[in-house]
Amino acid sequence: MGYPLRDRVALGAALAAPLVVALLLVPFRAGLASTNLALILVVVVVAVAAIGNRVAGALAALSSAVWFDFFLARPFERFAITDPNDIATAVLLLAVGLAVSQLAARARRLHVVTMLDAGLLARIHDTAALAQSAGSPDAVVDQVSRHLVEILWLRGCRFEYGSLLGHPARLEQDGSVVLDRKPWDLEELGWPHGEIELRAAHNGRYVGRFMLRPTPGLVPSRQVRMVAVTLADDAGAALDTAGPVLDG
């Protein structure tokens, strides 16, 4: 699928930014300590890692160490360092740059997860509020179907009222999947072929099921799958008093 645009930009910056900054520092290399020059390049690594990913951060760290050697350490403009202190600085620049890039990339990931959690919680709240209102239960089913398609990256989703035909794979309450009553390794094997059953129930009473059509190769996290189960339960609560139910 390739890298997103933001990560492609970061990869380009990882190659170009340390070189540009090193060139800008050339007029000051005689008056500044090599450690200070290296710290400036660490800032570049942090900036690249913050907008990109670990690969971009690591590449920026390596690029910074290379151009520090070539432009800012004696003998200048040669890939050779004679001063032991400069050698230590170059090694530390690379090590610190790699470490900082990992931290920056992790901070970006945590930010994404936080935003994802907020979005999932909003879906749960909105669906629960709709289920508790006096509106049509069908509206809850429609809303849950849309949410399931979005958060589970489905190709489609339909709802069956009060029927249990066949033996499709099933998405369980804990976010796992079973097929023929046996656990299915979703992370390792991907979704099973065919539709996946997600039952809607309330107070132990089965009222229907969502039939999920997964997109091959796209498996959401267990956390997201458990949110899907919660949404299905909200639909079950809305449908509990609407029409016949089956014990399941």
Helix 34-51 to helix 84-132 angle, to the nearest 10 degrees? 20
The average confidence (pLDDT) of the chain is: 83
Where is pLDDT greater, at 169 or 234? 169
The residue type of 154 is L
Dihedral sign for Cα atoms in the order 134, 139, 140, 141? positive
Q: Is the pLDDT of residue 123 over 60?
A: yes
Model confidence at 20: pLDDT above 50: yes
Q: What is the per-residue pLDDT across 159-181, written as a single tens digit (0 to 9) for each?
A: 998 777 788 999 998 889 999 88
User: For residue 202, what pLDDT is reported?
Assistant: 78
Task: Place 21 in a pLDDT band, splitting at 50, 70 and 90.
Answer: very high
Whole-number pLDDT of residue 81: 85
Say if residue 148's pLDDT is above 70.
Answer: yes
Residue 195 pLDDT more than 80? yes
CA distances from 203 to 24, 87, 175, 208 (A): 69, 69, 19, 13
Binning pLDDT at 50, 70 and 90, where does residue 244 land? very low
Task: Report which of 28, 35, 90, 84 is spatially closest to residue 62, judged by C-alpha positions.
Answer: 90
| Residue closest to 14 by CA, chosen among 66, 42, 56, 46 | 56
Do residues 109 and 74 make contact, with C-beta atoms less than 8 angstroms apart?
no
Q: pLDDT tens across 129-142, in order?
A: 777 775 678 888 99
Distance CA 209, CA 201 (A): 8
Whether residue 150 is predicted with pLDDT greater than 80 in this model: the reply is yes
